[in-house]
Chain A
Amino acid sequence: MSDLRISSHMPIILSIVAALMLSIAPMPDWAEAFRPTWVALTLIYWSITLPNKYSVGSAWITGLVLDVAQGTLLGQHALAITLVIYVTVKFHLQLRQFPMLQLTATVFALLALYQFILFWINGVVGVNSPSITYWGPVVSGAIIWPVLNLFLGTIRQRVRG
């Protein structure tokens, strides 16, 4: 029984770890401003599809790890991602019904919320992010969403089968 549970959790945890790695991987300077918020995207997907297994708790822990990995204030990403996942889980049944275009627009809004909370906390502690490119990850995240959705969908099929 426990083996079965581990094997069904493993691909999901691996996908979150992969998202963490993508968010700390070295990238050329010009691409840095458009690095999608991989961790938020991955967690949004899993909390839409498996909301009773992956919701605010796992999001908070992942956010904390992201805080350490990126060297931000401890709890900053954790708070932002927990709020986003809370909203996602709250409305996961509607989100499942959405056609892809509408879902992508919603993900765009969720990422904007995520980025805004980070921005706001930065403002409170006095780290300023002056440029418009701060919002680049929101755009690139929404663009990458349909592809990521497909990819994680195939993983989910494997887990079930």
Chain B
Amino acid sequence: MAAANSNSQFGSTFSPALGFRFLLLAALSILLMVIDQRDNHLDTVRKAIGAAVYPLRVIVDAPVSAWLWANETTASRNTLQLENSRLRTERLLTQARLQRYSSLEAENARLREMLEARAAVREQVRVAEILSVSSDPFRHVLIVDKGTNDNVYDGQAVIDADGIIGQIVKAGVLSSQAMLISDPGHDLPVEVNRNGLRTIARGTGEYNRLDLPFLPNNADVEPGDLLVTSGRGSAFPAGYPVAVVESVIRIPQEPFAAVSATPSAALNQVREVMLIWSTQEEESDAVEIEEISDAAEIEAEIVSDNTEAEADE
């Protein structure tokens, strides 16, 4: 108040209006937050502002991209040759595995037919690049460069070569936000690959640790067990590796064991991720699959029952 009185020539012109404007904007903010928290009515607002921010992201990311590009172009012949031979060996190994895999796939389909089980879920995968990582160290959120223009949708699974990374939480027009499985607010339905024991893997806020808080003391789980997505909860396709159990501490007087696991994917080192479109093999959806593949140049197509392949490694 002293401020306004000491300089009345313009202090008085905005001071009363200032308080009013502040209250109005504060009320508006709270209203926005309540609506945003409840449901997705504000998606259009968010997308509009997001589209305006997109160029900024690209500019901000440019130095990093330029650095990577420069590294690549100036890499020595020797390094390139080494990398080339390494990749060639890797390709040979992968192809060998793939040959067996396709026969397994055929066998699997045959068995499913005999059992008259539901058709396997087909998945399509597309590579997306990471534009930026959330600047809040306690929220593990990535921004990827694909949005609703590329048919990205909320809840879509995000993987990399080693396993599940997270899921899309907010799909924008040109870019989307993906929450990592290590975010403290992320719960992921998983099962132990060895015996099919189902449980929940919860993020801890650390990139290299997940918690399994709901396993009883007598649960059959051991360090070294591979955890894969169970497909329950429908957000994630089944059978993708998630984490490896690191430690199991059974405390007799507690109802649950303290189990922690290390994510298979290096969550803080990824630069490229893959988005999965999973579709049931049904007539109605078959059209949609073709549309997606025409529009978006699907780069790979895989079938979900890759648990065997993972287990063999």
Contacts and interface: CB of A to CB of B under 8 A. Distances in A.
A134 B205 CA distance: 13
A52 B13 CA distance: 9
Contacts of A52: 10, 13-14
B56 A21 contact: yes
A129 B46 contact: no
B42 A74 contact: yes
A4 to B, nearest CB: 20
Interface stretch (B19-27, B121-129, B276-284): B19-27
B36 A126 contact: no
Given A93-B3, A134-B138, A21 B21 contact: no
A33 to B, nearest CB: 5
Contacts of A20: 53, 56
B18 A89 contact: yes
Contacts of A27: 135
Contact of B30 (A68, A69, A79, A93): A79
B261 to A, nearest CB: 20
Contacts of A57: 21, 25
Contacts of B30: 75, 79
A33 B36 contact: no
Interface string B248-270: 00000000000000000000100
Interface of B: 2-3, 6-7, 10-11, 13-14, 18-19, 21-22, 25-26, 28-33, 35-37, 42, 45-46, 49-50, 52-53, 56-57, 59-61, 64, 132-139, 141, 143, 169-170, 177, 184-185, 205, 268
Nearest to A20: B56
A104 B213 CA distance: 45
B263 to A, nearest CB: 16
A89 B36 CA distance: 29
Interface of A: 17, 20-21, 23-27, 29, 32-33, 35, 51-52, 55-57, 60, 63-65, 68-76, 78-79, 82-83, 86, 89-94, 121, 125-131, 133-134
A20 B30 CA distance: 22
A41 to B, nearest CB: 15
Contact of B135 (A32, A86, A91, A126): A32
Nearest to A70: B135
15 contacts: A24-B57, A25-B60, A35-B135, A52-B13, A55-B18, A60-B28, A68-B49, A69-B57, A72-B139, A82-B22, A90-B3, A93-B7, A125-B37, A127-B184, A127-B185
Contacts of B135: 23-24, 27, 32, 35, 70
Given A17-B56, A23-B135, A55-B18, 20 more contacts: A20-B56, A24-B60, A24-B135, A26-B132, A32-B137, A33-B137, A55-B21, A56-B25, A60-B28, A63-B29, A68-B49, A69-B56, A72-B139, A74-B35, A74-B46, A75-B31, A79-B29, A83-B26, A126-B185, A131-B205
A68 B138 contact: no
A75 B88 CA distance: 51
Contact of B3 (A25, A65, A91): A91
Contact of A79 (B26, B42, B56, B64): B26
A75 B36 contact: yes
Given A65-B52, A82-B26, A56 B45 contact: no
